[in-house]
């Protein structure tokens, strides 16, 4: 299996999320040290760091994935782009239940 092709890189990108764009160096093969793709992902998903791909001959190949930049994610509303301290979601205060004490 030729791993350095638009088709294979696109398939790997699909395993992560929705491919948006492949940069020029990757698309044209000008840069062979790494591939760079822009991928839309769900805020709730875990981003994989490794894939095992099976070659046509049956051998498995480990493909490592690095993320150049991951935007901040809020643990309150699970949205990208801000941290909990800047979250506009209103926290609802609930009194602590004392269980008969």
Residue 80 maps to a domain: no
- Report pLDDT digits (tens) over 54-90: 888 888 989 899 998 888 888 888 888 888 888 888 6
Averaged pLDDT, 16-29: 92
**How far is Cα 47 from Cα 43, in angstroms, rounded to an integer?**
10
Please report whether residue 20 resides in a domain.
Answer: yes
**Would you say residue 26 lies in a domain?**
yes
Residue 1 has pLDDT above 50, yes or no: no
Structural domain that includes position 12: 6-69
Residue 77, in any domain of the structure? no
Q: Residue 94 domain-assigned?
A: no
Residue 57 lies in a domain: yes
- The pTM of the full predicted model, rounded to 2 decimals, is 0.67
Distance CA 50, CA 31 (A): 21
| Tally of domains within the chain | 1
Contact 80, 71 (CB under 8 A): yes
Q: Is residue 19 part of a domain?
A: yes
Residue 41 domain-assigned (yes or no): yes
């Amino acid at each position: 299996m030729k791993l350095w092709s638009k088709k294979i890189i696109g398939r790997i990108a699909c395993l992560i999320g929705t491919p948006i764009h492949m940069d020029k160096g990757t698309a044209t093969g000008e840069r062979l040290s790494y591939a760079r793709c822009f991928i839309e992902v769900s805020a709730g998903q875990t981003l994989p760091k490794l894939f095992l791909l099976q070659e046509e001959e049956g051998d498995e190949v480990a493909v490592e994935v690095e993320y150049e930049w991951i935007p901040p994610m809020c643990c309150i509303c699970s949205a990208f782009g801000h941290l909990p301290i800047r979250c506009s979601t209103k926290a609802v205060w609930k009194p602590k239940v004392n269980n008969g004490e």
